[in-house]
Structure 1
Amino acid sequence: MSIQKNNVAIVGAGIGGLSTALALQRQGTNVTVYEAAPNIKPIGAGVGLAANAILGLEKLGVAKEVIGRGKQLTALQMLDDRGKIISDQNTALLGSQFEENNLVIHRADLHEVLLQKIKPVSIVLGKRCTNVMQQENQVLVSFADETQITVDLLIAADGIHSVVRQQLVPSSTPRFAGYTCWRAVIENPGINLNNMVSAETWAIAGRVGISPLPGNKIYWYACIKTHKNNPKMRQMTPKELANHFSGVHKPIAEMLNATSSDQLIWNDIADIKPLKQFVYGNIVLLGDAAHATTPNMGQGACQAIEDAVVLGQCLQQKISLKEALAYYEKRRIARTTRIIRLSRFLGWISHWQQPFLCKLRNGVFRIMPQAFTKKQLKWLFEVDF
């Protein structure tokens, strides 16, 4: 049956939560988003949106606005520590099959586009979910301010540290990936970049990615293999990062030195072990709450957007709510599980530190047939909606 007149709550106003709210509102569903923060201030730097995400944004009616805020990229290059190409993926050629190119955008800009399309009265701030309880055909949701609501459907989009998921699956906690990461968006200090290419360097010292953004800005990230919650890494300055990567090809050190400490965003990288289910009665997990992945495939936000579109499609069908949620779960689990596992594997091999293994790895990537790479990207870009 249609859920258009039912009462739906979304916990979390990140990309997944807002995309889902938009998908449901476009269908006439009564939906309210509850966000723990007292105000919506996106935390993050750049975010990659592959062709699959752009297709999803088209379904949500916001692709044009998002593309207008971002920077379209035609290729993704992997480089060694000398700047020599390991792999050169022509994403434009494959993306043309889907009539979309890869895009990089500031996370705040993506957030703003979604917010502008959602009814303002649909978002309630300062509401931190503390407990959920499945009742007969509804869900009782409790908040830190001691208020409660009862809804027909609860969508948990509250991120990798999801309170809802950890209540439903206590063993599902974030697992450290083995490396830590710094990110920043800076003004281009005069670095000569290919304006349509995103590049990632795999060096023994660590990994560094650089992507151009509109307005002569650069989004960069740097990852170093370390132990969890390393205080030395937490306190690292851009100058210290530049010294760490001083043996890596130009213009990495120059770019890091052009960054101020207040521009740095730091965190350990983590994911969650793939879950066997996303649906628990009238509660459904979505985005990072359901399938948090490492960023090595640039699919975190993309998969949250896919979730939103697919869930909206399932709920719109003339079937029962139970059947609709089961269909959503069936369509999403295998794909997101594969991405979590492959992304974690790529993170592992990218941080090898033995020179012989690195040389062997790079050699394998260099001789890898384009047809194989194209097949992998085609699988990633193809979506069943």
Structure 2
Amino acid sequence: MAKITIIGGGIGGLCTAYALQQRGYNVTLCEGAGTYQSLGAGLGIGANALKALEKIGLKQQVMEHSKVLRKMIIMSDQGKPITETDSLMVSERFGTDNVTIHRADLLLALRNALKPGTIVLNKRCVDFVQEQNGVTLSFEDGETISSDAVVAADGINSIFRRKLVPGSTPRYAGYTCWRAVIPVNDIVIDDLVATETWGPSGRFGIVPLAGGKIYWFACVKAKARDSRIAKYSITDLLSIFNDFHRPIPQIIQATDQESLIHNDILDIKPIQHYAFGRIALLGDAAHATTPNLGQGAGQTMEDAYVLARCLETAGDLVMAFKEYERKRLGRTKKIIKMSNQIGRIAQLENKGLILLRNFVLNKVPPTANMKRFEFLYDVDWD
């Protein structure tokens, strides 16, 4: 069986490694970091991604750490509902749930599923050369190794994409984001409902997690790489969101400065190819998207299953990678575009446009809203 090297030990690399091992491939996963740390915040796993995890064989491990949500509500800064999505409707129609999970818990579950020795830490790939029968990889520690094929799951700043698709640099979405995970304690929330609050000064999300915790995020329009904003404290964030409805100010006040994570929101303009001979781009390396559809991790999980399935059914590695590309290009491009559009609408600052937006969204029937996003869940990768 072919030797496949995966570059990148994030969600995509881990899911792909497991899926390929289940099909008998000799897999090595190279991760640049020297250790795995329990960092990160929360994330959503949509019904489509749970389907992919089920097909890979990882759903049970992930669900043990997940929180099932029943509803997603978008509200005004004064707490008035604008629109909502009923997850029960999704469950009844497509047979699976929308869930949330702490990123660290997800990564731990995925790592534990792999065969011992699969992951090589402190192994940062710095260059590669593709030949007719394989790929030679060069690492920061000076070692070079040869592999029959490479899955590049090395994130939005992928060295593989930069070399194979010149000019495909990350683009700034126009807003920056803070995230944190805190215990619920005496904060009053509905732990079956995720909310987003859209106001003129920014956007605030509250997402219940398992274990009595809350994941929250705050997005504000800003210049890219603004060093002043990067230094914002809890007090600064409270000044932005202090007039938002309860419990938003209380959640910010309950957050320790040390637990705050900040980064600009980026994506990648859709590229035309994910397969390059014996190299396949996967996850954020191929199609990084803004988080507005909650599909970043989910699309990576779909990639893992589709790639493994194509290797199972195609005649050779190169054909399998091209088939994977064919199956994934259109769907991921659509998600990047739609997520980008939602972000622009959500981050409106003009109060007149905000009133118009809220009025229009409030008039959309739930069934029409479901129809618009049906393509996310009604998917058949086989």
Give the structure-1-normalised TM-score.
0.97
Residue 351 in 1 paired to residue 365 in 2? no
> Helix, strand or coil for the counterpart of 2:179?
strand
CA distance in 2, matches of 1:42, 1:50: 23
**8 Å Cα contact 2:134/2:146 also seen in 1:** yes
CA distance in 1, matches of 2:285, 2:343: 21
> Helix, strand or coil for the counterpart of 2:206?
strand
CA distance in 2, matches of 1:175, 1:91: 31
CA distance in 1, matches of 2:111, 2:379: 25
Deviations 1:7-50 (A, max 9, x none): 10000000000000000000011010000000122541001000
Give how far 1:247 is off: 1.4
CA distance in 1, matches of 2:264, 2:324: 31
Matches within 5 A, 1:84-233: 84-233=80-229
**8 Å Cα contact 1:180/1:267 also seen in 2:** yes
Which of 17, 20, 30 is residue 21 of structure 1 equivalent to? 17
Residue 263 in 1 paired to residue 259 in 2? yes
- Residue in 2 aligned with 1:378? 374
CA distance in 2, matches of 1:126, 1:214: 31
> Helix, strand or coil for the counterpart of 2:4?
strand
Q: Which amino acid aligns with 2:25?
A: T
Which of 247, 250, 253 is residue 251 of structure 1 equivalent to? 247
Quick one: structure 1 residues 42 and 159, their matched pair in 2 at CA, closer, same or farther if it must change by over 3 Å?
Answer: farther
**8 Å Cα contact 1:189/1:258 also seen in 2:** no
Deviates more, 1:55-64 or 1:251-260: 55-64
Which of 76, 81, 92 is residue 77 of structure 2 equivalent to? 81
Kindly tell me the number of residue pairs found equivalent between the two proteins: 381
Q: Please provide the CA RMSD for this pair.
A: 1.0
Deviates more, 1:208-217 or 1:326-335: 208-217
Q: What runs of 5+ residues in structure 1 fail to find an aligned partner? A: none
Which of 328, 331, 338 is residue 332 of structure 1 equivalent to? 328
Q: What runs of 5+ residues in structure 2 fail to find an aligned partner? A: none
- Residue in 2 aligned with 1:294? 290
CA distance in 2, matches of 1:151, 1:42: 30
Give how far 1:146 is off: 1.1
Q: Which amino acid aligns with 2:247?
A: P
Q: Which amino acid aligns with 1:345?
A: Q
CA distance in 2, matches of 1:324, 1:8: 13
**8 Å Cα contact 1:35/1:128 also seen in 2:** yes
Deviates more, 1:57-66 or 1:196-205: 57-66
Give how far 1:368 is off: 1.0
Deviates more, 1:88-97 or 1:261-270: 88-97
Q: Which amino acid aligns with 1:254?
A: Q
Residue 278 in 1 paired to residue 293 in 2? no
